[in-house]
C-alpha cells in the first residue's frame, strides 16, 4: 500500500518534473542543432573560398617555377599583387613581398581542395588570427576572434549581435557603405624549384556581403526558432507548475473548513518537525476535539455544524503561530495541531486558555473541548549534542495524543491530558486484561469471595456479599477495582455477573444440603446488564438450575445504574421481587443524589456507602446524615447495611441508630468460601483486635492490596473466640 508521502510525491512528480525534463531536453536538442548547423555552414563556406584562392596561388607557383631567378621572379610574382615569400631549404628567405604573417605560431593544415583529390598545405595568419584548426585538422572560424576583428575600426559603427552557446558573435550590420566583403588571410605553401625552395603565398578568403548575409540569416533564423521553442516550452512548463500548485493546494485543502487538511498535517508537519532550525525546540502534537458535535448537528443542522467548525478553524488560525506551528482539520470535529512546547505546564495552560476561548465561540451555546498531547523531546546524539530530528512518525505521535485525549472521553467536560507512561501502562493493562478475560472465565480463574454482614447488636451473621477475585496465572492476583471497570466498558461484565450468580447459587445450595444455617448472599449485578429486558428471568433460571431457594440470593444494584432507563429498571426490580429475590441499592450516598431513585424503586435493602464512614469522626454532621438515612430507610420499609465500617465506635453508633447489618473490615474482610463456611458454622461475629481497629481506612473504600484472606492467619479470628467467650 502506498504511504501518504508516496502519493504526494507522485502527484508532485507527475506535474512538475515532466515538463522540466522535457524542457531541458528540448533546449539541448535545439542548442546542439544550432551549433552544428552554423559550424557546418561556416566550414562549407571556408572550403568553398579556399578553392579559388588555391587556384590563384598555384598559378603563382607555376609561374615562379617556369620563370627566372632573383629580380625577374620577384617582378613576375609582384604582378599578382599578393604578399608572398620564398625560403630555401635552410629556411633563409630568398624573396619577399609584404609581411610574413604566417610566422612560427601559425597552424599548419593539409587542406583537401574542394572537389578534387589534391591537398594544399595551408597556414593560418598570425596577424588576423581568426582561424583555428580543429581536432579533425580542419580550418574553422573562431567566432570570438572573428567578432573582435569585425569590431575593429572600419566595422565599428553597426553590429549585429548573435550569440551561439557562450560565444558572442558580432557581425556588421550590412548596409551599402560597407565594403562588400571581409577578407580572412591564409598562407598557402608550394614546393618549387624541384623542392629546393618553398613559396608561401598569402591568400584571402573573401567572405562577401552575400555570404555574411546568408550566414547571419541562418544564425538568426535558427536562433529565432530556438527562442520560440524555448518560449513555448517555458510557457508549457509554467502552466504545468501552476496547475501543479493548484492540484497540491486542492490536495491539502479541507473541504469543511477551507483550511488545511489531514494530509497537510502529516506531510508538512513532518517537514516542520524535522527542520534543522527547529531542532532546539520541544514540540507537541495535539489532538483537539469538540465534544458532542454530532448532537449539535442533530439539533441544528450539518451546515450549522460545519459553520461552527469553520469558526473553530478561524480562531485557531489566530492562535497558532504560522511560522513555527501548524494545525489542520481532521475527521469530524477533530483538529490536529503541532505546537511549540518549551514547558509542559505552560503548554497545558495555553491549551486551557485556547479552550476557554473556543468554549465561548457562540453566545448562545457553551461548547466543550478536549485535548490530548504527545510531547516530542529534543534529540541529542551520543556526545550529548542536540541534533536535527531525522524523521518523525506523525501518525504515531498523533495516535498517542489521541489516546491521551480518549482517556477523557467518558466525561463531556473540557480538559487537557498529556500522554505519558501512566497512560501507556493503562493501555497495556487494558490490552492484557482483554486478552485474558475469555480464558480466565473458561478456566475458572475467577473465585468468589464472601464478605460477611453482621448484626451490630447481636453480632450474628445476617448475610454476605459475594465479591469476585481473579487469580490469574499470567497477571497474578488482580483486584476487582482493576478489571471490573474494564469489563463494564467492554461488556464482558455480563458474563461475570452470570458466573458469580451461578457460583453463589451453587455454593448456597451445597451449604444448605450440608445442613448449614445459610444467610442471604448478595451478588453485584452491573448496570450494563440492566439493559437486558429478560434479566430477571435470566437470574431466576440460573438460580433455579442450582436449586437454590430464592430468599438466599439478593441482587445489588449500584446507584449509578438507576440513571439509565428508569422504567425498565423498575420493571426488572418488580419482577425480581416477584420471584422472591431481595434487591438492594449499593453505594447509597456516593456520587449523585439517589433520593429520587428511592422514591421510585421498590427496594428492600439500602447499603450506605463506605464514604459515610471515612473522614473526621468528631464531625457531628456526618453522624446526623447517617442517622437520618437509616431513619429514611426504615420509613420506606427497607433494611440498612453499612459498608466499609472499620472501627468499634462506628459499630456502636450504628447499633444505637438501628442499622440492621454491618459489612466491613471491623468484622471481616472478604474471604474464600471455605473460610466463610467456617463463619457460617460459628454464626457469631468475629470482632477486631485493637490494632485492627486503628488500621487506616482505605480511601476509596476498595481494598486494592488485599491478599486472599486466610482465616487461620487472621487475627480477627482469634479475637472471635474471646468475644464469643465473653458473651457467653
Which residues in this chain contact Ca ion in the complex, by CB under 5 A? 524, 556, 586-587, 643
Q: Which is nearer to Ca ion, 197 or 587 (CB)?
A: 587
Can residue 589 be called a binding residue for ligand C2E (CB under 6 A)?
no
Query: Contacting ligand C2E (CB under 6 A), which of 500, 582, 629, 642?
Result: 500
Residue closer to ligand C2E, measured from CB, 31 or 708: 708
53 interacts with, out of Ca ion, ligand C2E, none, CB within 5 to 8 A per kind = none
Q: Which is nearer to Ca ion, 106 or 464 (CB)?
A: 464
User: From the CB of 483, what's the least distance to ligand C2E, in Å?
Assistant: 9
Burial class of 672 by CB neighbour count within 10 A (0 to 12, 13 to 18, 19+): middle
Q: Is 137 left (phi over 0), alpha (psi -120 to 50) or beta?
A: left
Binding span for ligand C2E by CB under 6 A among 32-40, 90-98, 538-546, 662-670: 662-670
C-beta of 505: minimal distance to Ca ion in Å?
Answer: 17
Which of 397, 703 has the CB closer to ligand C2E? Answer: 703
Which residue number, 261 or 524, has a Cβ lying nearer to Ca ion? 524
Site membership for ligand C2E, residue 496 (CB under 6 A)? yes
DSSP character at residue 550: G
Instruction: Please tell me whether residue 494 binds ligand C2E under the rule CB under 6 A.
Output: no
**Cβ atoms of 669 and 679 closer than 8 Å:** no
When CB distances are held under 5 to 8 angstroms depending on the partner's kind, the choice from Ca ion, ligand C2E, none that residue 244 binds is: none
- Choose the one of Ca ion, ligand C2E, none that binds residue 711, judging by a C-beta under 5 to 8 angstroms depending on kind: none
- Cβ-Cβ contacts under 8 Å for 358 (sequence gap 6 or more): 290, 312, 315, 367, 369
Residue number with CB closer to ligand C2E (143 or 483) = 483
Beta strands in 173-242 (DSSP E): 181-192, 197-208
Give the C-alpha distances (Å, rounded to integers) separating 544 from 19, 548, 550, 604, 673. 82, 6, 8, 21, 21
Q: Which residue has the cell 629546393?
A: 196
User: Among residues 432, 479, 538, 678, which is the contact residue for ligand C2E, using CB under 6 A?
Assistant: 479
- Please check whether residue 417 is in contact with residue 372, taking contact to mean a CB–CB distance below 8 angstroms: yes
* 481 contact, one of ligand C2E, Ca ion, none, CB 5-8 Å limit per kind: ligand C2E
Nearer to ligand C2E, 170 or 643 (CB): 643
Q: Which does 31 bind (CB under 5 to 8 A by kind): ligand C2E, Ca ion, none?
A: none
Site for ligand C2E in 598-627 (CB under 6 A): 610
Q: Which stretch binds ligand C2E (CB under 6 A): 39-47, 238-246, 386-394, 658-666?
A: 658-666
C-alpha to C-alpha distances, 191 to 105, 118, 188, 246, 546, nearest whole angstrom: 20, 14, 10, 76, 136
Q: How far apart are CA 364 and CA 387, in angstroms?
A: 49
User: H/E element holding 234?
Assistant: helix 209-251
Out of 581, 644, 654, 717, the only residue in the binding site for ligand C2E (CB under 6 A) is: 644
Interatomic CA distance for residues 26 and 134, integer angstroms:
27
Alpha-helix runs per DSSP H in 301-377: 302-319, 344-359
Please state, in angstroms and rounded to a whole number, the distance separating the CA atoms of residues 286 and 372.
6
Q: Which does 468 bind (CB under 5 to 8 A by kind): ligand C2E, Ca ion, none?
A: ligand C2E
Cβ closest to ligand C2E, residue 414 vs residue 522: 522
Show the cell assigned to 382: 551520543
Tell me whether strands 553-558 and 521-524 are parallel, antiparallel or unpaired: parallel
Distance separating alpha carbons of residues 530 and 189, to the nearest angstrom? 121
What's the rounded Cα separation, in Å, for the pair 137 and 118? 16
The answer to whether 188 and 82 are in contact (CB under 8 A) is no
Binding span for ligand C2E by CB under 6 A among 15-23, 78-86, 198-206, 494-502: 494-502
In terms of CB distance, is 20 or 702 closer to ligand C2E? 702
Minimum Å gap between C-beta 470 and Ca ion is 17
Piece of the chain touching ligand C2E by CB under 6 A; list 17-25, 115-123, 290-298, 659-667: 659-667
- Strands, sheet with 181-192, edge to edge from the N-terminal-most edge strand: 93-97, 84-88, 197-208, 181-192, 119-124, 108-112
Segment interacting with ligand C2E, rule: CB under 6 A, options 7-15, 222-230, 423-431, 644-652 = 644-652
Taking CB under 6 A as the criterion, the residue among 587, 687, 711, 717 binding ligand C2E is 587
Nearer CB in complex with ligand C2E: 53/643: 643
**The three three-digit cell numbers of residue 97, written as one number:** 613581398
Q: What angle do CA 722, 726, 728 make, to 5 degrees?
A: 115
In angstroms, the CA 51 to CA 111 distance is: 10
Residues numbered 666 to 705 that lie near ligand C2E (CB under 6 A) are 670, 697-698, 701-703
Question: From residue 96 to residue 135, what is the string marking binding to ligand C2E with x (rule CB under 6 A)?
Answer: ----------------------------------------
Instruction: Map residue 670 onto helix, strand or coil.
Output: coil
Q: Applying CB under 6 A, which of residues 467, 521, 605, 633 lies at the interface with ligand C2E? A: 467
* Burial of residue 597, with CB atoms counted within 10 A of its CB: 0-12 exposed, 13-18 middle, 19 or more buried: buried
- Pairing state of beta strands 119-124 and 108-112? antiparallel
Backbone angles phi, psi at 376, to 5 degrees: -105, 115
Report in angstroms how near the CB of residue 433 gets to ligand C2E at its nearest: 14
The one among 604, 646, 657, 675 contacting ligand C2E by CB under 6 A: 646
Binding residues for ligand C2E (CB under 6 A): 451, 467-468, 479-481, 484, 493, 496-497, 500, 524, 526, 586-587, 610, 643-646, 663-665, 670, 697-698, 701-703
Amino acid at each position: 500500500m502506498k504511504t501518504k508521502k508516496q502519493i504526494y510525491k507522485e502527484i508532485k512528480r507527475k506535474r512538475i518534473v515532466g515538463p522540466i525534463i522535457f524542457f531541458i531536453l528540448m533546449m539541448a536538442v535545439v542548442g546542439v542543432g544550432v551549433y552544428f548547423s552554423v559550424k557546418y555552414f561556416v566550414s562549407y563556406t571556408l572550403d568553398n573560398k579556399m578553392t579559388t584562392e588555391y587556384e590563384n596561388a598555384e598559378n603563382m607557383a607555376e609561374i615562379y617555377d617556369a620563370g627566372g631567378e632573383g629580380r625577374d621572379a620577384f617582378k613576375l610574382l609582384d604582378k599578382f599583387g599578393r604578399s608572398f615569400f620564398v625560403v630555401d631549404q635552410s629556411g633563409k628567405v630568398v624573396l619577399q613581398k609584404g609581411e610574413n604573417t604566417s610566422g612560427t605560431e601559425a597552424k599548419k593544415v593539409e587542406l583537401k581542395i574542394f572537389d578534387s583529390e589534391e591537398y594544399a598545405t595551408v597556414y593560418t595568419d598570425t596577424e588576423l588570427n581568426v582561424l583555428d584548426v580543429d581536432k579533425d585538422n580542419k580550418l574553422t572560424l573562431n567566432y570570438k576572434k572573428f567578432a573582435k576583428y569585425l569590431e575593429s575600426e572600419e566595422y565599428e559603427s553597426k553590429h549585429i549581435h548573435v550569440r551561439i552557446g557562450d560565444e558572442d558573435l558580432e557581425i556588421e550590420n550590412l548596409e551599402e557603405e560597407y565594403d562588400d566583403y571581409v577578407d580572412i588571410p591564409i598562407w598557402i605553401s608550394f614546393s618549387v624549384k624541384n623542392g629546393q625552395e618553398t613559396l608561401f603565398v598569402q591568400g584571402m578568403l573573401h567572405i562577401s556581403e552575400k555570404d555574411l548575409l546568408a550566414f547571419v540569416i541562418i544564425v538568426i533564423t535558427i536562433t529565432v526558432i530556438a527562442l520560440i521553442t524555448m518560449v513555448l516550452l517555458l510557457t508549457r512548463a509554467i502552466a504545468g507548475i501552476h496547475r501543479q500548485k493548484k492540484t497540491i493546494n486542492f490536495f491539502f485543502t479541507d473541504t469543511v473548513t477551507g483550511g488545511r487538511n489531514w494530509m497537510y498535517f502529516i506531510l508538512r508537519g513532518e517537514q516542520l518537525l524535522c527542520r534543522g532550525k527547529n531542532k532546539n525546540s520541544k514540540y507537541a502534537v495535539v489532538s483537539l476535539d469538540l465534544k458532542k458535535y454530532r448532537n449539535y448537528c442533530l439539533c441544528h443542522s450539518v451546515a450549522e455544524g460545519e459553520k461552527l467548525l469553520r469558526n473553530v478553524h478561524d480562531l485557531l488560525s489566530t492562535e497558532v503561530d504560522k511560522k513555527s506551528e501548524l494545525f489542520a482539520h481532521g475527521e469530524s470535529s477533530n483538529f490536529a495541531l503541532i505546537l511549540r512546547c518549551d514547558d509542559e505546564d505552560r503548554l497545558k495552560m495555553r491549551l486551557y486558555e485556547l479552550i476557554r476561548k473556543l468554549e465561548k465561540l457562540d453566545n448562545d451555546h457553551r461548547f466543550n473541548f478536549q485535548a490530548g498531547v504527545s510531547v516530542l523531546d529534543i534529540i541529542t546524539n551520543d556526545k550529548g549534542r542536540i541534533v536535527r530530528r531525522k524523521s518523525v512518525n506523525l501518525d504515531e505521535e498523533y495516535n498517542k495524543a489521541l489516546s491521551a485525549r480518549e482517556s477523557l472521553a467518558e466525561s463531556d467536560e473540557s480538559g487537557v491530558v498529556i500522554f505519558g507512561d501512566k497512560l501507556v501502562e493503562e493501555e497495556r493493562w487494558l490490552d492484557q486484561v482483554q486478552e485474558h478475560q475469555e480464558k480466565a472465565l473458561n478456566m475458572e480463574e475467577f473465585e468468589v469471595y464472601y464478605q460477611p454482614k453482621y448484626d451490630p447488636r447481636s453480632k450474628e451473621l445476617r448475610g454476605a456479599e459475594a465479591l469476585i477475585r481473579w487469580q490469574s496465572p499470567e497477571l497474578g492476583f488482580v483486584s476487582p477495582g482493576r478489571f471490573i471497570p474494564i469489563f463494564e466498558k467492554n461488556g464482558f461484565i455480563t458474563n461475570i455477573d452470570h458466573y458469580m450468580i451461578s457460583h453463589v447459587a451453587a455454593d448456597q445450595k451445597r451449604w444448605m444440603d450440608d445442613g448449614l444455617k445459610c444467610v442471604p448472599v448478595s451478588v453485584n449485578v452491573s448496570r450494563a446488564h440492566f439493559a437486558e429486558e429478560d434479566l430477571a428471568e435470566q437470574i431466576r433460571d440460573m438460580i433455579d438450575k442450582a436449586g437454590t431457594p430464592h430468599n438466599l440470593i439478593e441482587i445489588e444494584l449500584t446507584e449509578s445504574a438507576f440513571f439509565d432507563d428508569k422504567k425498565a429498571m423498575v420493571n426488572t426490580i418488580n419482577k425480581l421481587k416477584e420471584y422472591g429475590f431481595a434487591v438492594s441499592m449499593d453505594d447509597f450516598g456516593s456520587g449523585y443524589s439517589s433520593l429520587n431513585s428511592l422514591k421510585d424503586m421498590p427496594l428492600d435493602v439500602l447499603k450506605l456507602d463506605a464514604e459515610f464512614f471515612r473522614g473526621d469522626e468528631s464531625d457531628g454532621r456526618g453522624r446526623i446524615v447517617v442517622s437520618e438515612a437509616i431513619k429514611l430507610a426504615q420509613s420506606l420499609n427497607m433494611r440498612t447495611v453499612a459498608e466499609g465500617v472499620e472501627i468499634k465506635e462506628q459499630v456502636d453508633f450504628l447499633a444505637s441508630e438501628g442499622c440492621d447489618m454491618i459489612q466491613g473490615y471491623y468484622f471481616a474482610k472478604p474471604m474464600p468460601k471455605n473460610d466463610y463456611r467456617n463463619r457460617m458454622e460459628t454464626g457469631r461475629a468475629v470482632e477486631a483486635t485493637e490494632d485492627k481497629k486503628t488500621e487506616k481506612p482505605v480511601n476509596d473504600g476498595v481494598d486494592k492490596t488485599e491478599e486472599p484472606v486466610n482465616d487461620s492467619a487472621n487475627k480477627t479470628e482469634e479475637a472471635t473466640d474471646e468475644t464469643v467467650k465473653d458473651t457467653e
